[in-house]
Amino acid sequence: MHCGLCLPTCPTYAATKLERHSPRGRISLMRSIADGRLEATKTFGEEMYYCLGCLACVTACPAGVNYAELFEHARAEVESSGVLNSPRRNVIRGVAIHWLFASLNRLQALGRLLRLYQQLGLQTLVRRSGILRLLPRRLRELEAITPEIQPHFSSELIPFVTAATGQRRFRVAMLTGCAQDLIFSDVNRDTVEVLSRNRCEVVTPPEQFCCGSLHAHNGEWELAQDLARKQIDRFPPERFDAIITNAGGCGSHLKHFHKLLSDDPVYAERARLWDLKVKDIHEWLCQIGTEPPPNDQPSQVVTYHDSCHLAHGQKITAEPRRLLEAIPRLKLVELTESNWCCGSAGIYNLIQPEMANELLRRKLEHIKSTRATVVATANPGCLLQLINGARQEGINLRIVHPITLLAEAYRNS
């Protein structure tokens, strides 16, 4: 396609006005390599990782070009060709993608060490000592956005089976995620409480796996397939009315297991059923109908930032707003460019900090213009990006998941 209707929606093109930084330019590069007219090069690899993968172009495209699939296969081509290989990059990818995020146990072990470091006051001591000034600038920036680890992981907050409040209508499974489990396990607890309040019996196995979105989005197709098989075995889709996710980025990936495993004779049909059963929490609650919260609620002004993969990947935009508007005395103020990427984009803010920070500043300016005191968003990466940005800018904001606000409203009864 050559129409270019996607160009105004692409954050990197809007910032640079360079064709190669646009969806049209990137697709042209992909096509040239697929047709054998160009070889995969380091420049091509860098361009594929300069893309946010926010999928705003998918929403804008009148022809329905599946950029998400093209993007993932292009990054897989980059990795298989080795054009970006270097000893440093290979070690980082090996530790992070192949080792750390391949096992929740390893990730939780790292989380416990980081939590101890924070709870003992060592992090505060190190930051006040001035020793960080001796580190290279990039390491100082990374240290500044170190997430706060929750006091308890999801398995310590949520029982294996949570009974429905009142007569059970549905039996659902709850996906607690990997980074979400460490940084926002309280959101997982809130999600289970809200599901129970709406007459769902919730099954939450303590041993879970990464969904594989990190691997698929970073060119590790086989690892993503392996993790998809593990998820299907852990949550047999035929046993549940729905499989619930509360993370926009994870949910977008989780709904496409059939395409990921379409050539697998054992898992292809189970993956098709899996895709039908996976539901974003907002989508599910609006589908089954929710119990209205009590009227005696504190007054609050809230704005909503769309997670890119929830809005553009899953096409879920109205449902979170509908749930927020159902909370009495909550005033929802629409956010300018609400579906414009905040710069988090998985690990984009780690590998492309300059562009990520530019997008974050743009987002924060729009948030300030709403005069809202609360920002709701439904993805752990967005939550963390906005929390860090607000703290660094000295903006007094509460940044939460929409389901947390609904859970709090129910608790007020």
Kindly report the CATH number assigned to the domain that includes residue 384. Answer: 3.40.50.10700
Same domain, 239 and 344: no
User: Does 1 reside within a domain?
Assistant: no
Burial class (CB in 10 A: 0-12, 13-18, 19+), 14: middle
Residue ending a domain, among 32, 48, 81, is 81
Q: How many domains does the chain have?
A: 3
CA–CA dist 305, 308 (Å, integer) = 9
- Residue that finishes a domain, picked among 228, 262, 289: 289
Residues 214 and 329 in one domain: no
Q: Looking at the structure, tell me whether residues 39 and 179 fall in a common domain.
A: no
The 10s digit of each residue's pLDDT in 186-216 is 999 999 999 999 999 999 999 898 999 989 9
Residue 321 belongs to a domain: yes
Strand order in the sheet with 161-162: 161-162, 200-203, 170-174, 242-245, 278-280
The residue-averaged pLDDT of 74-92 equals 91
- Place 393 in a pLDDT band, splitting at 50, 70 and 90: very high
The pLDDT of residue 346 is 85
Rounded Cα distance between 139 and 146, Å, is 11
68 in the same domain as 117: no
Residue type present at position 380: P
pLDDT score of 1 more than 80: no
Residues 357, 322 contacting (CB under 8 angstroms): no
Do 124 and 20 lie in one domain? The reply is no
Which amino acid, one-letter code, is at 319? E
pLDDT band of residue 404 (cuts 50, 70, 90) is very high
Tell me what pLDDT residue 354 has. Answer: 93
Give the pLDDT mean for 244-259: 96
* 47 and 97 co-located in one domain: no
Report pLDDT for 201: 98
The answer to whether the beta carbons of residues 329 and 385 sit under 8 Å apart is: no
Residue type, 381: G
Domain that holds residue 321: 292-411
Residues 214 and 312 reside in one and the same domain: no
CA atoms within 13 A on the CB side of 374: 15
Q: Looking at the whole model, is its pTM more than 0.85?
A: yes
pLDDT of 139 higher than 90: no
Q: Domain boundary residue among 239, 263, 289?
A: 289
What's the chain's average pLDDT?
94
Which among 316, 369, 368, 361 is positioned nearest to 343, based on CA atoms? 361
Whether 298 and 170 share a structural domain:
no
Residue 101: per-residue pLDDT: 86
Tell whether 321 and 173 lie within a shared domain.
no
